[in-house]
């Protein structure tokens, strides 16, 4: 694992983020009963893989406003968690499993599995949907076995939006904001850098959100090595890309767009070929959430700082090859 140092504006050179392989997915609205067996399968996969590395567990109600408290993990607590998912589908709750805090980041982190059951009200009825986030060591992409198993499980869910690939990520215990992360994406063009929390209006249209966002269109929050596109957003897509390394598959109503056989860092100093990512991003452009919504969640972005506004734009345009070139992607 390697670390990203905080930028000079913080007055500190402490590690602020780690390299990770991140898998993020948001389901469509679905019943807790339908989610339960799939959630259990994903939990079992993660705990079997990382049994010796899981040190902490955090649990709370999904709408809690304070940070998630951690306690030492034990087999008994894992059994209780598994029973909760199996019997309730995690209804109204969140949990997080994390690895050691004895790293330069000094916070509980990799390997990490997070699941949240949230709700969306439609015609006065609340319907649950789920947020799944995994962050593991980048070395998991070496033999692809874990990635393949996670992919198999996620294909059983009605995914509304999802992205995965290499990432620079902060421990959730350090807060949700990524505005002060240094712009490593200027060199590593294919990484995803995203908050652990995603505003609901990014994925679903909200009339109330238009009071502070203006008119906007919900859609995908980001593009990764593998991007999952729910049926509503996929309906906007055009002709499939003709790049030989880009695969477009169907899993139920979800399209799965994969840029190459394995994730890459997109290191322009090393001459990495990012053409497959560029082709995938161009294809996915119509399915993205409105640009003015996404840029508010971009790494290094600050609306009150001209240089940081440019960095936010550069992140959204990172597949184009220049930091200043405009784009609708």
Indicate whether 328 pLDDT > 50.
no
Q: What is the pLDDT of residues 97-123, one digit of tens each?
A: 999 999 999 999 999 999 999 988 776
**pLDDT score of 77:** 97
Q: How many whole angstroms separate alpha carbon 53 and alpha carbon 111?
A: 7
Q: Could you tell me what percent of the chain has a pLDDT over 90?
A: 78
State the average pLDDT over residues 270-280: 97
Residue indicated by tokens 């951690």: 70
Between 40-44, 57-61, 62-66, 294-298, the lowest mean confidence (pLDDT) is in 62-66
Find out whether the peptide bond into 111 is cis, omega within 30 degrees of 0. yes
Q: How far apart are CA 277 and CA 189, in angstroms?
A: 9
Answer whether residue 14 shows pLDDT above 70.
yes
Q: Looking at the predicted structure, is the pLDDT value of residue 22 above 90?
A: yes
Q: Assess whether pLDDT exceeds 70 at residue 169.
A: yes
What is the per-residue pLDDT for 189? 96
Name the pLDDT band for 8 (thresholds 50, 70, 90).
low
Q: Is the pTM of this model over 0.95?
A: no
Q: How would you write the chain as a 3-class SS string?
A: CCEEECCHHHCCCCEEEEEEEEEEEEECCCCHHHHHHHHHHHHHHHHHHCCCCCCEEEEEECCCCCCCCEEECCHHHHHHHHHHHHHHCCCCEEEEEECCCCCCCCCCCCCEEEEEEEEEEECCEEEEEEEEEEEECHHHHCCCHHHHHHHHHHCCCCEEEEEEEEEEECCHHHCCCCCCCCCHHHCECCCECCCCCCCHHHHCCCCCCHHHHCCCCCCECCCCCEEEECHHHHCCCCCCCCCCCEEEEEECCEEEEEECCCCCCCECCCCCCCHHHHHHHHHHHHHECCHHHHHHHCCCCCCCCHHHHHHHHHHHCCCCCCCCCCCCC
pLDDT at 324: 37
Spatial distance between the Cα atoms of 231 and 151, rounded to a whole number of angstroms? 18
pLDDT, tens digit (0-9, with 9 covering 90-100), for 182-222: 899 999 999 999 988 888 889 999 888 999 999 999 999 99
């Amino acid at each position: 694992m390697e670390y990203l140092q905080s930028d000079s504006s913080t007055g500190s050179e402490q590690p602020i983020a780690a390299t990770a392989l991140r898998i993020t997915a948001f389901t469509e609205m679905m019943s807790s009963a339908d989610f339960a067996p799939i959630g259990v399968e994903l939990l079992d996969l993660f705990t079997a893989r990382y049994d010796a590395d899981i040190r902490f567990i955090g649990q709370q109600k999904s709408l809690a406003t304070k940070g998630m408290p951690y306690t030492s993990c034990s087999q008994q607590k894992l059994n209780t968690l598994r029973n909760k998912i199996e019997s309730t589908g995690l209804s109204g709750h969140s949990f997080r499993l994390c690895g050691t805090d004895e790293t330069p980041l000094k916070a509980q982190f990799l390997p990490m599995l997070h699941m949240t059951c949230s709700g969306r009200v439609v015609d006065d009825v609340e319907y649950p949907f789920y947020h799944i986030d995994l962050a593991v060591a980048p070395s998991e992409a070496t033999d692809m076995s874990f990635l393949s198993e996670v992919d198999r499980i996620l294909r059983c869910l009605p995914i509304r939006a999802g992205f995965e690939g290499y990432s620079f990520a902060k421990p959730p215990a350090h807060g949700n904001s990524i505005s002060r992360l240094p712009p490593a994406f200027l060199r590593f063009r294919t990484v995803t850098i995203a908050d652990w929390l995603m505003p609901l209006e990014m994925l679903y249209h909200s009339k109330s959100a238009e009071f502070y966002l203006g008119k906007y269109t919900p859609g995908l929050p980001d593009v990764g090595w593998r991007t999952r596109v729910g049926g509503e957003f996929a309906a906007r897509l055009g002709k499939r890309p003709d790049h030989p390394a880009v695969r477009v598959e169907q899993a139920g109503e979800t399209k799965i767009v994969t840029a190459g056989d394995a994730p890459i860092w997109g290191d322009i100093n090393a001459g990495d070929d990012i053409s497959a990512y560029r082709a995938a991003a161009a294809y996915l452009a119509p399915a993205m959430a409105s640009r003015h919504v996404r840029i508010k969640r971009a790494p290094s972005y600050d609306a009150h700082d001209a240089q940081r506004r440019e960095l936010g734009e550069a992140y959204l345009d990172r597949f184009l090859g220049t930091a200043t070139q405009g784009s609708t992607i």
